[in-house]
Structure 1
Amino acid sequence: MKVNSKKTVRLSLVLSIFLIALTALTPGDRYFEIQKNLDIFATLYKEVNTYYVDDINPNKVIKTGINAMLSELDPYTNYIPEDDIEDYRTMTTNQYGGIGALIGKRNGKNMVIMPYDGFPAHENGLIIGDEILAVDGIDVTEKSISEISKLLKGQANTKVNLTVKKFGAKETSDIELKREKITIDNVPYYGLVTNDIGYIKLSDFTTDAGKEVKDALVELKSKGATKVILDLRGNPGGLLSEAVNVSNVFIPKGSEVVTTKGKVKDWNKTYKALNNPVDTDIPLVVLTSSRSASASEIVAGVMQDYDRGVLVGQKSFGKGLVQATRPLSYNSQLKVTTAKYYTPSGRCIQAIDYSHRNPDGSVGKVPDSLKVAFQTKNGRTVYDGGGIDPDVGVQQNFLAPITVSLVNKSLLFEYANEYHLNNKQITPAKDFDLSDAEYEKFVSWLSTKDFDYTTKVEETLDKLKDIAMKEKYYDEIEPQINALRKQVMHNKELDLRKFKSEIKFMLEEEIVSRYYLQKGIIESSFDHDPDILQSVKVLNDQARYNKLLAN
C-alpha cells in the first residue's frame, strides 16, 4: 500500500537542500561519499514509506534516524525538534511561564515535591505532599510528569485551575493560580556555615550566574565571612560565558580563564576575566562531585590552576567539550560539539573514552599512561584526561539498603508530611534535631509499612548458589552457604538501629523541607555533610590550607 507520497517528495527535497548546504562546507574529496550516503538514506526512506506494511510516522522515524546518527559522535551533540524548543530554552535560561513548583510521582500519585519560595504555587498555599488530580478540568491521575508539566506551563498572567487533594484532607479542593514568569536562581542558597565561613550553593550556569555569586559573596562578607565555600556538586554546567564570570569573582581582571579549540579555526578563542574581582585573597574551598560537569569544571580547574582555592570532594565528571546551537529548517535546532576547552595550565579534562563510565555517568579510573601532567601557578602537578581530581578527596558514603528502601518507597517523604501536619512549627533548620523519642515514633510508625529489601551480600549469596548449582558444586557447599545466609540475613528492626544516624539525617532533611523548603534542606545538612565538614576543617587550619596550595 502506498502512503503519503507528498510527504516523501517533501522529505527528499529537504534532504537535497541539506545536501547542497553540507557539501559546500565539505572538502572536495569527500563530496562523493557524502552525496552517495545521503542519496541512499533518501531512497531507503522512500521505499520504506511506500512498501512497509503499516503507516509510519515521518517525524518519529526521521528523528530516530537523526538521533542514532548523532549518538555515534558524542553524548552532547543532539537534535532539538520544534516541539522540544521550549524545554531547551527553559533548560538554558532557567526561565518559563508557570506556577513555580516541582512535581513528581510518589507511590503512583502526582504530588508537589517542592514549591519555589515566592511563586504562585507557594503563595497560594500548595505544599509538599499535595496531590494534583486535574489541571483545567483534565484528569491527570494517569498522566506522566512531563505531560502534567506541559499543562501547568503557559504564558505569564494566564490562569490555570488545579484540582488538588491536600495532604490529610478527605475532600478535594479547586485552586485558581495565575502563571508568572518563573526564574530559578543559579544560587538557590547562600549563608554562614559558621560565624566566619560563608557558603554559596551554585546549581546552574545560566544567565546571571556570575552576578549571583558576586552578590552572594559581597553580602556574606558584610555578615562577617572571612572564608568561603563554593559548592559546585551536582552542577551540570551551562553557559561558558558564565563560567568566566563566576571565575572572575575570585581572580584578577585580565587573567586567562579558558581557551577553546575546534575544527573551525575562526571560532578558537581565549576568554579572560573582564571585570574587577570581588576578592582575590579570601580563603576558598570549591566542592566538586562526580556530577560536577562542563562549566563547573572550568571554574574548579581555574581555581586549581591558579592555586586560588582548595578543591574538596570527588573527581569531577570529565566533560571538556563546548556546544553551540545551530538553526535548522522548520524551527528545529542542532546542539553540536564545536570545540574542546582548556584550563589556564593547558589541560583538557575531557574523559578520553565516552563509552566506559561509572554507573553515575562519571569517568572511571584513567590509566596513568594516558594522562599528561601540567603545572599550576605554584608548580603543583595536575593531570588531564578525565575530570578534575580534588586536592582533598572525600569518600562518598553509600546508603544502606534499608535507607534506600525507605527512600524508594517514599516512607521518609510520607512521614515528613504527617509530622508537618501534626507540628505547626519547628526550630530553625540549622538547629533542628530529631530526638531519640521522635525517632522511636518513626520506627513504630514503620511497623505497619512494607519496606522489605535485599542486601548486596544476600544478592551475592543468591548468585553464588546459582553458579554452584550450574557447575554441580552446590551439594558440597550447601551447608556453608546456608550458614552464611543465616549469619547475614537482614533484620529490619536491627537495621533501623544500626543505620539510625543516616536514616535520622535524611528524615530530618525531609521534615525541615516542609517548613523551610529547599533552603532548609541545605542548612539542615551542615552538621553531617562529609564534604562540608571537611571544608570547614581545611579552612580552619591555615597552615594546612597554605600547604595544600604550595609546590
Structure 2
Amino acid sequence: MLFNKITIKKYLFLFILSLPLFYFFYDDNDLFEITKNLEIFHSVYKNIHESYIEKPKSGELIKTAIDAMLNSLDPYTNFIGEDDIEDYRFQTTGLYAGIGGALEKINDKLYITEVYDNSPALENGLVPGSEILSVNDKDISKLSVAEVTNLIKGEAGTSVKIKFIPFRSNTPVEKNITRREIKSQNNVYFTILKNNTGYIRLQSFTERCAEEVKKAVIELKKQNIRSLVLDLRDNPGGLLMEAIQLVNIFIPKDVEVVFTRGRTSNWYKSYRTMENPLDTNIPLAVIINENSASASEIVAGALQDLDRAVIVGSRSYGKGLVQNTIDLPYNTKLKITIAKYYTPSGRCIQALDYSQKDKSGRVLKVPDSLITAFKTKNGRIVYDGAGITPDIKTKSENLSAILLDLNQQNFFFQYAYHYALKRNTIPPPKEFSLTEQDVQEFLDLLKEKKYIYHSDQENLLKEFKFSAENDSIYQEIKKEYEELFNGLGKIQEKLLLKNTPVIKEFLEINIINFYYYSKGKEEYLVHKDNEIKQCIQILNDEKKVKEILTKIESPQKPFNSQKKF
C-alpha cells in the first residue's frame, strides 16, 4: 500500500506547489477552497484504503469520483479513460480497425446484420445473414455482442480467425481475415434526385468530412445538378473546423462562420472561411431535426444567418457549447466545455442552462423571457436560446412504439432473412416493393411466433396492480381494472393494422439490406422521404426561394444588443 500513502501525498504536494500558476484565474478564497478540498479528498481516499472492510479497487474509486464530479457540470465534459480511447478515436475520426460489419444476437445465435461496401467482411463472404460460430477459436455462444465485437476489432494489418456459416449455406467455413481501417459507413452519401437536384447526407462531422462533401458536390456538378439538398438530420455534430470548412464550400473567403466566447480571453475567437468557395450561387436547402446538434447547428445557423440556404425540417437540438480535449497522464484525456459558440448574427443557440437546475437536479431551459431577436444578413428575424428554427417547418412522424418493439426484437430482420433465402435477386432498391400478401405473411409470422406487444400503458397498469393489490381500494375497482387491462391487450391487432404502411417499409429496407447492403438502403430511403420531396419542390421554384430568404417580419422578442447585422 506504499502507493496510497506516498504517491498520493507526492501528487498533492506537487499540485499545491503549482497553485501560483493559477493566480491569474483565482483569488485567495478560490485557492484556499481548492487546497482545502484536495486535502479532504486525499484524507477520504487514504482512509478508505487503510480501513475499509474489503480491499478497494483504486482505479474504480478514482474513476467514480471523477465521473461524479464531471457529471455535476454538463453531459459533454467527460473523462476518457485508457480503455475508452479507441471509442473516442472512432467518434472523432470515424475510423476503427476491424472487418466492417455489424452484429446482432437473434434467438441465441450471432448474425451479421450489416456489412460495409468494400469491407474485409464482404470480401470474405460475411454478408447479412451469416452466422458467427467462433472468433480466434473461442466459442462465442455465451458472449455478448459487445464482447464479440471487441474480439473482432484490433490493429489494422493483423488478422482475425472467424468461423461462420455463410448465408444460404449449411456448411461452416473458417477464414483468416485481415483487419483494415474502416471508415464509418457511408458518412457521406450522395445521389441525384428528381429535377436534377443533388442530395448529400452527412452522418457526422469527423475528420476530413468537409473534404468528402466537397468531392461529392464536385461529382454532382459534373452531372449538371440545378440545386442541392444537404441533409443533417440525426447528425450529432463533431469537429468544429470541419463545420467551418463545409460552410466555406458555399460561402466566400474571409466571412465569419462562428465565434466563441469563454470564461477567459483565450476562447474569444472568430472563425472565418479560409478558401475560395466552390459554389456561392446554387440553390441550397439544409434539412435538420431535433437530433441535429453542435457542428450541424453551426452549419445550419451560419447558412441561415448569411441567407445562403433555406433551412427545412424541425427545430434542432440546441447544443451551443464548445469542448476542448486535453491530454492527461497514462494515455487518458479530459474533454471539457470551454466556451459557447455564436452564429454570424451573434446568437447562441444553447437550449439548456446547465448552471441552473431545479430542486430535483433537472437542468432548466433558457427561460422564454431571456430569448432575444437577431437579424440575418438580409434582415430576416432569427432567435437565440433554442436551437435553429427552420425557415420551413415540417412535421416529423414519430414511429409507433410497437414498430420500435418489433425492430428491437429483430422480427423485420428475421422475415427478411427467410425472404432472401428463397430469392437470389430482387429489383433495384427504388423499384422494389412488397405485395399485400408479403406483408400478410409477416403478420402471420408474428402470430406463429406468439408475439405479444406490452405497451407502456400496460406496464404502468401492472405496476399499479403490484403496488395497490393489498389495498382495500383495489378490490373496489378490480373489475374496472381487469376490463381496462384486457382492453389494452386487444389493441395489438389494431396497432399492427394501423401501422401496416410503415411495417411494409421496414420490411423492404431489411430485405434490400440482404442484396444491396447499406448503400441500397440509402437509395431506397431517399426516394421515400417526404422532407426531401418538399426540398426538391421548394428549390425548383426560384421565386419561392428568393421570397423565403428575403422575407422581413416584425420581431416577437426584443433585439439583442450584441446582434451583428
Q: Same fold (TM over 0.5)?
A: yes
For 1:142, what is the secondary structure of its paired residue? coil
For 2:426, what is the secondary structure of its paired residue? coil
1:6 is matched with: 3
Correspondence 1:121-200 to 2 at 5 A: 121-167=121-167, 169-184=169-184, 187-200=187-200
Q: Alpha-carbon deviation of 1:294?
A: 0.8
- Aligned in 2, Cα 1:137/1:485: closer, same or farther, shift over 3 Å? closer
- Aligned in 2, Cα 1:336/1:186: closer, same or farther, shift over 3 Å? farther
Residue type of the alignment partner of 2:113? I
Q: Alpha-carbon deviation of 1:221?
A: 1.9
Map Cα deviations across residues 204-247 of structure 1 (whole Å, 9 max, x no partner).
11121111111111111222321111111111111111000111
Cα separation, 2, equivalents of 1:109 and 1:173: 16
Correspondence 1:320-335 to 2 at 5 A: 320-335=320-335
Residue type of the alignment partner of 2:303? M
- Aligned in 2, Cα 1:267/1:405: closer, same or farther, shift over 3 Å? closer
1:304 is matched with: 304
For 1:241, what is the secondary structure of its paired residue? helix
Cα-Cα RMSD: 2.7
1:360 is matched with: none
Asked whether the equivalents of residues 258 and 344 of structure 1 are also in contact (C-alpha less than 8 Å), the reply is yes
Q: Alpha-carbon deviation of 1:290?
A: 1.5
Residue type of the alignment partner of 2:409? K
Asked whether the equivalents of residues 186 and 205 of structure 1 are also in contact (C-alpha less than 8 Å), the reply is no
- Aligned in 2, Cα 1:314/1:364: closer, same or farther, shift over 3 Å? farther
For 2:194, what is the secondary structure of its paired residue? coil
1:391 is matched with: 391
Asked whether the equivalents of residues 312 and 535 of structure 1 are also in contact (C-alpha less than 8 Å), the reply is yes
Correspondence 1:333-482 to 2 at 5 A: 333-354=333-354, 367-455=367-455, 472=473, 475=476
- Aligned in 2, Cα 1:57/1:365: closer, same or farther, shift over 3 Å? closer
- Aligned in 2, Cα 1:157/1:28: closer, same or farther, shift over 3 Å? same
Q: Alpha-carbon deviation of 1:467?
A: 10
Q: Alpha-carbon deviation of 1:444?
A: 2.9
In structure 1, stretches of 5+ residues that fail to align are 358-362
Q: Alpha-carbon deviation of 1:14?
A: 2.8
Asked whether the equivalents of residues 128 and 514 of structure 1 are also in contact (C-alpha less than 8 Å), the reply is yes
Residue type of the alignment partner of 2:223? K
2:563 is matched with: none
For 2:528, what is the secondary structure of its paired residue? coil
Asked whether the equivalents of residues 234 and 292 of structure 1 are also in contact (C-alpha less than 8 Å), the reply is yes
Asked whether the equivalents of residues 135 and 151 of structure 2 are also in contact (C-alpha less than 8 Å), the reply is yes
Higher RCO (CA-CA < 8 Å; seq separation 6+) = 2
Cα separation, 2, equivalents of 1:233 and 1:476: 47
Cα separation, 1, equivalents of 2:263 and 2:356: 25
Asked whether the equivalents of residues 405 and 452 of structure 1 are also in contact (C-alpha less than 8 Å), the reply is no
For 1:399, what is the secondary structure of its paired residue? coil
The reply on whether 1:290 has 2:290 as its aligned counterpart is yes
Asked whether the equivalents of residues 351 and 365 of structure 2 are also in contact (C-alpha less than 8 Å), the reply is no
Correspondence 1:224-239 to 2 at 5 A: 224-239=224-239
Map Cα deviations across residues 304-324 of structure 1 (whole Å, 9 max, x no partner).
111111111221111111111
1:251 is matched with: 251
In structure 2, stretches of 5+ residues that fail to align are 358-362, 553-565
The reply on whether 1:87 has 2:87 as its aligned counterpart is yes
1:24 is matched with: 21
For 2:526, what is the secondary structure of its paired residue? coil
TM-score, scaled to structure 1: 0.91
Map Cα deviations across residues 360-398 of structure 1 (whole Å, 9 max, x no partner).
xxx997643131111111211111112111222222212
Map Cα deviations across residues 406-430 of structure 1 (whole Å, 9 max, x no partner).
2121100111112222211111111
Q: Alpha-carbon deviation of 1:54?
A: 0.6
Asked whether the equivalents of residues 82 and 330 of structure 2 are also in contact (C-alpha less than 8 Å), the reply is yes
Asked whether the equivalents of residues 159 and 177 of structure 2 are also in contact (C-alpha less than 8 Å), the reply is yes
Q: Alpha-carbon deviation of 1:477?
A: 10
The reply on whether 1:63 has 2:60 as its aligned counterpart is no
Q: Alpha-carbon deviation of 1:280?
A: 1.2
